[in-house]
Amino acid sequence: HSLDKGEYRHFMLKEIHEQPAAIANTLEGTLGEDHVLTAVLGPEAETRLKDIQNIHIVACGTSYHAGLVARYWIEEQAGLPCQVEVASEYRYRQVAVPANTLLIAISQSGETADTLAALRYAKQQGYLASLAICNVAGSSLVREADWRLLTKAGPEIGVASTKAFTTQLVALLWMTTALAQVNDRAPEMISANVRALKGLPRLVEKVLHLDQHIEELAATFASKHHALFLGRGPHYPIAMEGALKLKEISYIHAEAYAAGELKHGPLALVDENMPVVSVAPSDSLLEKLNSNLQEVRARGGQLINFACERAELDNGEGSIHLSLPWVYESVSPIVYTLPLQLLSYRVALVKGTDVDKPRNLAKSVTVE
């Protein structure tokens, strides 16, 4: 039953382990052989997909991080300009809306006050339409948006969002692929995305086995007061999400940087008391990331690399290396999220904080 912890010590751990099933449920009935089934969006949305020329995304917290990943996907794969903003800023400024822009509001609960207000504001701004990506079918956001795409993560009880985030990413990659499809982008890319999405539940299951190794390094981490998270490209928002998770449940101050920005300030903080976590898939930016990591090592920083087993990272003294299986580029941000969730969970356990109900935070912020 989704409302009890079963064999798990915390809802958060249970929800981390539910991700293979949550992803499979979200994808059920949405994929064809080598294309996505755009009819899932409903007849009105399906016919208007090809009119979309611009995307604006609004959300809060973890859902905002999902939007940031989607921007990399949408601009690269669908060729459409995309902007992403936290709902609390968006709702109070004068937004310039180009013709034929789709507004996407992302929310686990569909009841977050700022996100709902952003949607209501957007409805007065001449958008082509609004789309809610949401985990609660009967929520206010879903009722008020023109179109909907539901994540099927099931109830999420832990305040720190886990399975809702990865299923949001799945929905957003699906949406990117739908937009690529109606814009006649490379069919090989579309079919590769479909294949990668289908293989995702199994891959995610495999990555959960890293938990044992992560548990071993949690103790050293728990005595630290600060941490840096680094990533590049779509893995930069994944680093942001990793830092947010650590802050939320272990109360360790963590910040994420795009790895290329390290030399513009945060490098001054690096010493042996500053663990640096890097997200290092085997992509076109790996070499660049590697030289960023050497800068950290040269300053005595403790490096923890979550890296592709095929990545040739310079493995100097003082680095801890955790290998992930090779994954197709599009789904890589989803896969690399899991070890970061586990890291924050294991560190919080060592610290003895209230994992499922962190101090000062609410699962759903329904007042401003």
User: Tokens in use for 320?
Assistant: 């801890």
Q: Which of residues 270-289 bind ligand G6P (CB under 6 A)?
A: none
Amino acid 5 reads K
In the three-class reduction of DSSP (H, G, I as helix; E, B as strand; rest coil), residue 358 is classed as: coil
Secondary structure letter of residue 282 according to DSSP: S
**Using the rule CB under 6 A, is 61 a contact of ligand G6P?**
yes
Residue 143 CB contacts under 8 Å (≥ 6 apart), including other chains: none
Catalytic site includes residue 245: no
Interface residue with ligand G6P among 26, 38, 63, 101 (CB under 6 A) is 63
Report if residue 357 touches ligand G6P, rule: CB under 6 A: no
Taking the complex as a whole, the smallest distance from the CB of residue 74 to ligand G6P amounts, in Å, to 19
Strands (E) in the chain, as ranges, are 54-59, 82-86, 101-107, 129-134, 147-150, 226-231, 253-258, 275-280, 302-308, 319-324
What token pair was written down for 74? Answer: 């949408």
Size of the site for ligand G6P (CB under 6 A): 16
Tell me the C-alpha distance between 318 and 54, whole Å.
Answer: 45
Is the CB of 160 or the CB of 355 nearer to ligand G6P? Answer: 160
CB of 59 to ligand G6P, least distance (A): 6
161, 181, 193, 332: residue in contact with ligand G6P (rule CB under 6 A): 161
- Kindly tell me which of 109 and 332 has the beta carbon lying closer to ligand G6P: 109
Q: Are 297 and 318 in contact (CB under 8 A)?
A: yes
Residue 219 or 361 having the CB closest to ligand G6P: 361
- Mark the segment that binds ligand G6P (CB under 6 A) among 50-58, 202-210, 249-257, 360-368: 360-368
Yes or no: say if 204 and 15 are a contact pair by the CB < 8 Å rule. no
Exposed / middle / buried, residue 351 (Cβ in 10 Å: 0-12, 13-18, 19+): middle
Q: Which is nearer to ligand G6P, 65 or 346 (CB)?
A: 65
User: Are the C-beta atoms of residues 193 and 15 closer than 8 Å to each other?
Assistant: no
**Smallest distance from the beta carbon of 155 to ligand G6P, in angstroms?**
12
Q: How far apart are CA 229 and CA 215, in angstroms?
A: 18
**Should residue 298 be labelled a site residue for ligand G6P when binding is judged by CB under 6 A?**
no
Interaction between residue 337 and ligand G6P (CB under 6 A) = no
User: Is 45 an interacting residue with respect to ligand G6P (CB under 6 A)?
Assistant: no
Binding mask 100-139 for ligand G6P (x = CB under 6 A): -------xxx--x--x------------------------
Instruction: Tell me whether residue 17 or residue 247 sits nearer to ligand G6P (CB atom).
Output: 247
Q: Please compute Rg for the chain using Cα positions.
A: 20
**Residues forming the active site:** 363
Point out which residues bind ligand G6P (CB under 6 A).
Answer: 60-63, 107-109, 112, 115, 159-161, 361, 363-365
